[in-house]
Structure 1
Amino acid sequence: MILASTPFWMLPASGLAALAYLLGALAGARLSDQNVRRLMWLAWASHAVALLGLLAGPVRFGFAPALSVTAWLVVTAYGIERHLFPQLKARWAMGVLGAAAVLLAWVFPGNLLSSLASPWLPLHWALGLSAYGMFAAAVVHAWMMTRTEHDIRQGHEADSGLPLLTLERLTFRFVSAGFMLLTATLVAGALFGEALYGQGHGRWHWDHKTVFALLSWLTFAVLLIGRNQWGWRGRRAVRVLYIGAGLLLLSYAGSRFVLEILLGRAG
């Protein structure tokens, strides 16, 4: 039933994106670096077209499109980083992440949004999704940092292609950017909640989304303070990052998943 409601124009773009992502991830060792880059850019562009398809005509959104936008932002960050650090090796992770996100959004395209309470609401969503993307990129880099540290301890060459300190620095740059975006999202919701979501919403709407978002903000604040004041790094910093990212995932995507899939409600 959910699949039947998927906009027909998403199928070719989503299929092409998923195929290109998977080919770039699985066949990367058999192809030249230039051809793999072309595949990843084809996947990135097709992914963008699939996302824009959700905004054409009746607008749809939900937990899966939110995750798909997040994955697209992570792939975008990876593409930029590849220009700065050509030795970066995360193609397999990007391919699998992108393909999974595209297919998930195709199967679960979200609910129709009949109207928006405010023309500023899309900007509020954009801030929140950008925060999702930055923290997701931080999680990917933290994962690579953990693998690199393990490789160093085992005396092996690092799979990521980047030095450990470079990965650590990039990880916290993404955390800092995500924290600023998340702060802006929460401040906008607190100050302009009624203007954004309509009458009766109030400045603070204490639902699961708000509670988990605030808990994640506090977790990331503790992480940044611990980093700056006490020099947190390595496994301790990564664990706190994972906790904050998990709470943030539960805030919007998690609450929407429960509403759309488990409860079958559009609200």
Structure 2
Amino acid sequence: MNLLPTLMSNPSAALLSSVAALSYAVLAWAHQRMTPAQVRGLLATAWLLHLVVLVQGLFTQPVRFGFAPAISITAWLVLTVYVVESRLYPQLRARWTLAALGTLAVLLALIFPGSPYPALRSAWLPLHWALGIASYGLIAAAVVHAWLMQRAEAAMRQGHATESTMPLLMLERLTFRFVAAGFALLSATLLAGGWFSAMLHHEWVWEHKTVFSVLAWLTMGVLLLGRWRLGWRGRTAVRTIYLGAGFLLLGYVGSRFVLEVVLHRA
């Protein structure tokens, strides 16, 4: 892919994306040598620049969307959750990891801005996109919390847990709250997608993204049922979250990656 035309088509967006990615990268690299106030300030700056990049993309004509912008929005949503939660729970320690994720997401969206949509087939289609991206963000937040839960459990088993470590039960509760919220939004996304499919094609169209999204929905549903009826927790719950998130990632992001990057089709 030739990157220069992509950058020249919108130089202001390219500049903002570069500065946002650099801010995230500096935070990921130098956070241990910075004061807490400096870390918060740089994270807020990178987060705000990332938001400006996303908002600017909404007003670009024609509208473009694809796997990389979906990842970028999801990463911003996860960082938003972290910024809010870190105020409530100062014990959360995932700044460098999420900053590295932010760097990668912004750069991916800059290199692969997605396919143009000069005309939407339905005025309600953005609602379907919004629901889908929101479900991505919430389930991605659940994945981050499941990862933190694994770390906390490992630290406790090895005797490395301290008073500043996030309590394991609190992490577990937060994880399942995000799973439940993501499952609800994913359910709404699938219902909206089925409605649009019936309206445009007069039938439910079983595409790759539909199949993987339904598999993700079933996996998360089984997890919530297992949690409620069987008390699933620990490694079983974490692995099921990873599996469901993997299916969801293969849904829209995976199918669009193959179309845009491998097959070079819109």
Category of TM-score, reference length = shorter chain = over 0.9
Q: Tell me, yes or no, if the aligned pair for 1:127 and 1:181 is still in contact at 8 Å.
A: yes
Distance, in Å, in 2 between the alignment partners of 1:259 and 1:88 is: 38
Cα distance change of structure 1 residues 159 and 264 upon mapping to structure 2, 3 Å threshold: farther
Residues 101-143 of structure 1 show CA distances to partners (whole Å, capped at 9, x for unaligned) of 0011111111111110111111110000000000001001101
Distance, in Å, in 2 between the alignment partners of 1:137 and 1:87 is: 16
Name 1:141's counterpart in structure 2. Answer: 145
Q: What is the identity, as a one-letter code, of the residue corresponding to 2:11?
A: F
- Note the C-alpha offset of 1:194: 4.2
Name 1:5's counterpart in structure 2. Answer: 6
Q: Tell me, yes or no, if the aligned pair for 2:24 and 2:103 is still in contact at 8 Å.
A: yes
Q: What is the identity, as a one-letter code, of the residue corresponding to 1:31?
A: M
- Note the C-alpha offset of 1:192: 3.5
Residues 8-37 of structure 1 show CA distances to partners (whole Å, capped at 9, x for unaligned) of 222121111111112222211111111111
Distance, in Å, in 1 between the alignment partners of 2:197 and 2:164 is: 42
Alignment of 1:94-173 (within 5 A): 94-157=98-161, 161-173=165-177
Q: What is the identity, as a one-letter code, of the residue corresponding to 2:226?
A: G
Name 2:89's counterpart in structure 1. Answer: 85
Name 1:260's counterpart in structure 2. Answer: 260
Distance, in Å, in 1 between the alignment partners of 2:165 and 2:18 is: 30
Name 2:222's counterpart in structure 1. Answer: 222
Residues 49-68 of structure 1 show CA distances to partners (whole Å, capped at 9, x for unaligned) of 11223222221110000001
- Note the C-alpha offset of 1:93: 1.3
Cα distance change of structure 1 residues 149 and 77 upon mapping to structure 2, 3 Å threshold: same
Which consecutive residues of structure 1, in runs of 5 or more, have no partner in the other structure? none
Q: Tell me, yes or no, if the aligned pair for 1:17 and 1:102 is still in contact at 8 Å.
A: yes
Distance, in Å, in 2 between the alignment partners of 1:77 and 1:159 is: 23
Cα distance change of structure 1 residues 159 and 72 upon mapping to structure 2, 3 Å threshold: farther
Instruction: Determine helix, strand or coil for the equivalent of 1:161.
Output: coil
Q: What is the identity, as a one-letter code, of the residue corresponding to 2:15?
A: P
Name 1:70's counterpart in structure 2. Answer: 74
Which consecutive residues of structure 2, in runs of 5 or more, have no partner in the other structure? none
Matched-pair identity in %: 57
TM-score if structure 2 supplies the norm length? 0.94
- Note the C-alpha offset of 1:148: 1.0
Q: What is the identity, as a one-letter code, of the residue corresponding to 2:206?
A: W
| Alignment of 1:241 onto 2:241 | yes
Distance, in Å, in 2 between the alignment partners of 1:157 and 1:23 is: 28
| Alignment of 1:21 onto 2:24 | yes
Q: What is the identity, as a one-letter code, of the residue corresponding to 1:125?
A: W
Instruction: Determine helix, strand or coil for the equivalent of 2:11.
Output: coil
Cα distance change of structure 1 residues 160 and 122 upon mapping to structure 2, 3 Å threshold: farther
Q: Tell me, yes or no, if the aligned pair for 2:148 and 2:171 is still in contact at 8 Å.
A: yes
How many aligned residue pairs are there?
262
Distance, in Å, in 2 between the alignment partners of 1:128 and 1:240 is: 20
Q: Tell me, yes or no, if the aligned pair for 2:61 and 2:118 is still in contact at 8 Å.
A: no
Distance, in Å, in 2 between the alignment partners of 1:67 and 1:159 is: 35
| Alignment of 1:32 onto 2:57 | no
Cα distance change of structure 1 residues 164 and 214 upon mapping to structure 2, 3 Å threshold: same
Name 1:202's counterpart in structure 2. Answer: 202
Instruction: Determine helix, strand or coil for the equivalent of 1:24.
Output: helix
- Note the C-alpha offset of 1:227: 0.5
